[in-house]
Amino acid sequence: MQESPVDIPCPICSSEGSLYMIAHVDEIPYFGEHTQVTVMCHSCGWKQTDFIPAEGKKAGCWSLVLENTNQLKSRVVRSSSCTIRISELDLQVNPGSNSTGYVSNVEGVINRFLEVINMVLRDLQNDVSSKLIENESTELSQTIKEINQLEEIIDTLSNIGSEGQEPFTIELLDPHGHSMIIDEAATERSLTDEEIATLPTGPDPAVFSA
Ligand SMILES: [Zn+2]
């Protein structure tokens, strides 16, 4: 595939003349025909992929209530402007400046959440050791409480559809309308004006808005 130069400095390392773009038209069942655009910097290695649907899409929120393990295989198209939320568990991933789009499935999205939670959990566990040594008992009980909460969340995320497990809802909120959950039980609604005003839209560089 052919790389074409992009005439703006790299949004990460500011290097001039290092940005290149590859675009190709692709088809994902139900998501439809779209252009997959990847921008990369040959200086620092920054890379970002996005999916631009052929038909204009409107800002939207896709929701799926997770009740059984079959749904783990459902496809997810997540664009770089998409916020992923699990309200029941107080979890949210915003599109940061390094946000990149990806095509995955529900399991892949949950694994990304688990990775981050496990990282935080390890930090807290290290905290416990140092607080034990320094004998800070008030802070210690707070940290242990936080650890227990995280372990409960991990438990819920890892045991979808098992007995006694409350279902939870995964939501994709995308002001650009380039994201989708492909499952027959998934529903779509428009974003409210308030959501459009407050949701982050991710990396700005004019690369994708052009
Ligand atoms: Zn760069």
Place of tokens 């799926």: 64
- Residue 9 C-alpha to ligand 1 middle, in angstroms? 8
10 Å CB burial of residue 164 (0-12, 13-18, 19+) is exposed
* Distance from C-alpha of 151 to C-alpha of 120, rounded to nearest angstrom: 11
For residue 115, what are the domain limits? 56-198
Flag whether 51 is in a domain. Answer: no
- Residue 40 C-alpha to ligand 1 middle, in angstroms? 8
- Residue 16 C-alpha to ligand 1 middle, in angstroms? 8
Given a contact cutoff of 8 angstroms between Cβ atoms, the answer to whether 61 and 191 are in contact is yes
Flag whether 209 is in a domain. Answer: no
Domain count, the chain: 1
Instruction: State the Cα angle at 31 between 22 and 24, rounded to 5°.
Output: 15
- Residue 17 C-alpha to ligand 1 middle, in angstroms? 10
In whole angstroms, what separates CA 130 from the centre of its chain? 33
Given this model, what pLDDT does residue 206 score? 38
- Residue 52 C-alpha to ligand 1 middle, in angstroms? 23
In whole angstroms, what separates CA 202 from the centre of its chain? 11
Q: What is the pLDDT along the chain (210 residues), one digit of tens a residue?
A: 789 999 999 989 999 999 999 998 888 888 888 888 999 999 999 998 888 888 767 789 999 999 999 999 999 999 988 999 999 999 998 887 667 889 999 999 999 999 999 999 999 999 888 888 887 788 888 899 999 999 999 999 999 888 888 899 999 999 988 899 999 999 999 999 999 888 887 665 434 333
- Residue 130 C-alpha to ligand 1 middle, in angstroms? 38
Nearby residues of 189 by Cβ (< 8 Å), 6 or more positions away: 60, 61, 63
Which CA distances in Å does 95 have to 83, 124, 207? Answer: 6, 25, 16
* Distance from C-alpha of 89 to C-alpha of 154, rounded to nearest angstrom: 10
Flag whether 70 is in a domain. Answer: yes
- Residue 43 C-alpha to ligand 1 middle, in angstroms? 5
- Residue 81 C-alpha to ligand 1 middle, in angstroms? 20
Flag whether 84 is in a domain. Answer: yes
Given a contact cutoff of 8 angstroms between Cβ atoms, the answer to whether 200 and 94 are in contact is yes
Flag whether 208 is in a domain. Answer: no
Given this model, what pLDDT does residue 70 score? 93
- Residue 15 C-alpha to ligand 1 middle, in angstroms? 6
Flag whether 29 is in a domain. Answer: no
Predicted TM-score of the model (pTM): 0.80
- Residue 11 C-alpha to ligand 1 middle, in angstroms? 7
Q: Specify the CATH number for the domain of residue 75.
A: 2.60.120.1040
Query: Which helix (H) or strand (E) element contains residue 171?
Result: strand 168-174
Given a contact cutoff of 8 angstroms between Cβ atoms, the answer to whether 138 and 131 are in contact is no
- Residue 48 C-alpha to ligand 1 middle, in angstroms? 11
Flag whether 93 is in a domain. Answer: yes
- Residue 163 C-alpha to ligand 1 middle, in angstroms? 49
Given a contact cutoff of 8 angstroms between Cβ atoms, the answer to whether 16 and 28 are in contact is no
> E strands, 11-55, where?
19-28, 32-41, 47-53
Flag whether 91 is in a domain. Answer: yes
- Residue 42 C-alpha to ligand 1 middle, in angstroms? 7
- Residue 47 C-alpha to ligand 1 middle, in angstroms? 9
Which CA distances in Å does 151 have to 30, 77, 157? Answer: 36, 28, 10
